[in-house]
């Protein structure tokens, strides 16, 4: 199993690298930003989902990417010390042949966790100095953790921060630029100096800030939530020469994939997207308990036959 | 023409709003008159939000300002005229951890004076029922964004029936995958996919209940 997977994975890293650089790929690269352990256990009928089982699951789905979530110490109302954070089996994952991404949390996520939802979202109005000082702390934390990850051989980094919801941005674009993007810009610059590509993940409708994402230096964007008016074809048309797009499949798409007509429709869209390079296929939310894994497998299998 | 207080709230000017409220109290305006002006200001904020002029953070800011106003006015409210509290329970159904839509609706409802019990995310169906039993709330709002969690919503309705509470409680489901077919499948009474419209729906339900 593992020797086969090595063979499959030997092309994965370069396939993903090519997609990030918006070059042609031998087939559509695939990746999931998050794979819940329960999904692995159910799929493989096992009680524990350690490194080997996760790798087996990733290979079973034909993914090219592994995403590693940070493991934080128990939350005590403040940002963690970088030394307290780890990524499970990091040393093993960077040697698999898969393209390895590590996830780091962003300013909004940490802010909401540390201050509370209402308090943090009104902080730009109430206390600009507090939010400024907080974003600096998140920047230092992420830069230090990124350095450790790069030293350990990680291939790419994802800053995950839900900047928006279905309707639009959580905070005014002006505040988003002043506090969030100024912090992101310095983080991305430092990470890219380390030689790795950097993606941003955000749910919701972020159409308004795509130019800011590009200006901040990001290589790619993950999620592309169609239910939040994020149209991948339009995004590609407008920004495909500057960003790699990853995601776009919704949980509903996986259910619809059992209908041959709907599956064909999905494949047509994927083919049209993949034809322009700079595209990685995946769900917009990752794989959680209850998600239609059979539907996803159908899409992934058929994509290998029809695209690019 | 709108007065200075309405305008200050509508423009999210916290310091000006609180100063004007204090001045109005000192000049003898009744707390109810002042609250009514503030309510009009909050209404303008809601309208600007619906028209996509304001962002979510603006909506929350207006709630924060309104809370500050109520803190100033509280000692001046005669106890017997205090606004009747109406309890609603809201939560995101089990298996789903999305809370943004729920939080928006809760903030909007609280900003217009309703008491909302927020059960959080990933709420077990039985917990909704238990909470109804404990609090006597007669409206439940269930947020669901992941289609595979829809069966858990159906379970809430089933458990309410088994507990003999179904006739006493109105159930509203919300979230972007929800439609009439899903409402019918789950057995909920109403559905809404837009936060602002959801608030109007809750207000209407509550007015009808109070009327009855």
> Could you read off the pLDDT of B153-170 as tens digits, one per residue?
999 999 999 999 999 999
**Hey, are the CB atoms on B101 and A165 less than 8 Å from each other?**
yes
Contact A216, A188 (CB under 8 A): yes
Supply the pLDDT for residue A180: 95
Q: CA nearest A170 in B: which residue? A: B56
The confidence band for B99, taking pLDDT boundaries of 50, 70 and 90, is low
Contact A234, A269 (CB under 8 A): no
- ipTM of this predicted complex? 0.84
Smallest CA-to-CA distance from A296 within A261, A265, A231, A250 is with A250
CA atoms of B62 and A6, how far apart (whole Å) = 56
Tokens, residue B49: 């939000």
One CATH from 3.30.1490.190, 3.30.2290.10, 3.30.70.600, 3.20.20.210 for A2-306: 3.20.20.210
Q: How are beta strands A86-87 and A70-71 bridged, if at all?
A: antiparallel
Q: Percent of chain A, pLDDT > 70?
A: 96
CA atoms of A41 and A30, how far apart (whole Å) = 21
Q: Is the minimum CB–CB distance between B67 and chain A shorter than 8 Å?
A: no
Supply the pLDDT for residue A308: 57
Smallest CA-to-CA distance from A110 within A145, A141, A146, A149 is with A141
Instruction: Report angle CA B203, B62, B100 to the nearest 5 degrees.
Output: 70
For A118, the closest of B12, B60, B146 (CB atoms) is B60
pLDDT exceeds 60 at position B80: no
Mean pLDDT of chain B: 85
Fold exhibited by the domain B4-79: 1.10.1240
pLDDT exceeds 70 at position B129: yes
Supply the pLDDT for residue A267: 95
Smallest CA-to-CA distance from B120 within B138, B85, B96, B136 is with B96
Mean pLDDT of chain A: 92
CA atoms of A193 and A133, how far apart (whole Å) = 24
Residue A289 with chain B: CB contacts under 8 Å: 95
pLDDT exceeds 60 at position A307: no
Residue B116 with chain A: CB contacts under 8 Å: none
Half-sphere exposure of B71 (CA within 13 A, CB side): 9
In the block, tokens 């709230």 appear at B9
Is 0.90 surpassed by the pTM of this model? no
> Could you read off the pLDDT of A43-60 as tens digits, one per residue?
999 999 999 999 999 999
Instruction: Report angle CA A15, A21, A24 to the nearest 5 degrees.
Output: 55
Q: Following CA atoms A166, A172, A176, A179 in sequence, which dihedral angle do they give, to the nearest 10 degrees?
A: -140
**Hey, are the CB atoms on B63 and A170 less than 8 Å from each other?**
no
**More confident of the two residues A70 and B76:** A70
Q: Is the minimum CB–CB distance between B27 and chain A shorter than 8 Å?
A: no
Contact A88, A68 (CB under 8 A): yes
CA atoms of A232 and A243, how far apart (whole Å) = 11
Supply the pLDDT for residue A136: 96
Residue ranges of chain B assigned to CATH 3.40.50.280: 87-211
pLDDT exceeds 70 at position A2: no
> Could you read off the pLDDT of A189-233 as tens digits, one per residue?
999 999 999 999 999 999 999 999 999 999 999 999 998 999 999
The confidence band for B75, taking pLDDT boundaries of 50, 70 and 90, is confident
Contact B9, B58 (CB under 8 A): no
Tokens, residue B81: 């005229």
Rounded to a whole number of angstroms, the distance from the CA of B144 to the nearest CA of chain A is: 13
pLDDT exceeds 50 at position B183: yes
Residue A167 with chain B: CB contacts under 8 Å: 52, 56, 195
The confidence band for B86, taking pLDDT boundaries of 50, 70 and 90, is low
Residue ranges of chain B assigned to CATH 1.10.1240.10: 4-79
Mean pLDDT of B42-62: 86
Give domain B87-211's CATH architecture.
3-Layer(aba) Sandwich (3.40)
With residue A281 as reference, give the H or E element that holds it. strand A279-283
pLDDT exceeds 90 at position B45: no
> Could you read off the pLDDT of A280-300 as tens digits, one per residue?
999 999 998 888 999 999 999
């Amino acid at each position: 199993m593992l020797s086969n997977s090595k063979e499959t994975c030997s092309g994965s890293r370069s396939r993903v690298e090519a997609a990030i650089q918006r070059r042609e790929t031998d087939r559509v690269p695939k990746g999931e930003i998050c794979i819940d352990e329960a999904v692995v256990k159910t799929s493989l009928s096992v009680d524990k989902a350690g490194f080997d089982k996760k790798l087996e699951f990733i290979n079973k789905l034909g993914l090219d990417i592994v995403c590693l979530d940070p493991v934080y110490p128990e939350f005590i109302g403040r940002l963690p010390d970088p030394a307290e954070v780890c990524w499970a089996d990091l040393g093993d994952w960077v040697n698999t042949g898969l393209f390895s991404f590590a996830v780091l949390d962003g300013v909004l996520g940490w802010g909401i966790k540390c201050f509370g939802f209402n308090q943090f979202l009104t902080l730009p109005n109430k206390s600009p100095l507090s939010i400024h000082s907080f974003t600096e702390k998140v920047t230092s934390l992420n830069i230090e953790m990124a350095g450790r990850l790069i030293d350990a051989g990680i291939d790419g980094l994802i800053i995950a921060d839900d900047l928006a919801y279905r309707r639009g941005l959580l905070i005014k674009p002006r505040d988003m630029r002043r506090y969030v993007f100024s912090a992101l810009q310095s983080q991305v610059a430092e990470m890219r100096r380390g030689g790795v590509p950097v993606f941003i993940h955000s749910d919701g409708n972020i159409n308004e800030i795509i130019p800011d994402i590009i200006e901040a230096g990001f290589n790619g964007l993950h999620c592309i939530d169609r239910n939040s008016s994020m149209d991948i074809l339009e995004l590609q048309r407008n920004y495909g020469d500057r960003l790699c797009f990853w995601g776009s499949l919704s949980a509903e798409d996986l259910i619809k994939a059992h209908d041959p007509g709907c599956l064909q429709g999905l494949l047509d869209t994927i083919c049209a997207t993949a034809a322009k390079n700079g595209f990685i296929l995946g769900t917009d939310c990752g794989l959680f308990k209850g998600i239609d894994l059979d539907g996803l497998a159908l899409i992934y299998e058929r994509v290998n036959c029809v695209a690019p | 023409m709108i007065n200075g207080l309405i305008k200050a709230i509508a423009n999210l000017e916290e310091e000006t709003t609180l100063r004007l409220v204090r001045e109005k109290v000192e000049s003898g305006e009744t707390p109810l008159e002042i609250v009514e002006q503030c309510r009009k200001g909050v209404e303008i904020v809601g309208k600007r939000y619906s028209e996509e002029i304001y962002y979510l953070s603006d909506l929350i800011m207006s709630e924060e300002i309104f809370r500050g106003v109520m803190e100033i006015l509280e000692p001046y409210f005669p106890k017997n005229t205090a606004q009747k509290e109406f309890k609603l329970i809201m939560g995101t159904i089990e298996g789903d951890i999305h809370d943004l839509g729920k939080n928006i609706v809760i903030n909007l409802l609280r900003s217009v004076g309703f008491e909302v019990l927020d059960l959080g995310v990933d709420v077990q169906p039985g917990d909704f029922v238990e909470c109804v039993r404990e609090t006597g709330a007669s409206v439940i709002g269930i947020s669901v964004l992941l289609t595979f969690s829809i069966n858990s919503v159906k379970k809430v309705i089933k458990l309410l029936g088994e507990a003999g509470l179904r006739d006493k409680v109105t159930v509203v489901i919300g979230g972007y995958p929800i439609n009439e077919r899903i409402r019918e499948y789950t057995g909920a009474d109403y559905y809404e996919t837009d936060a602002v419209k959801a608030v109007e729906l809750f207000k209407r339900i509550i007015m009808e209940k109070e009327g009855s």
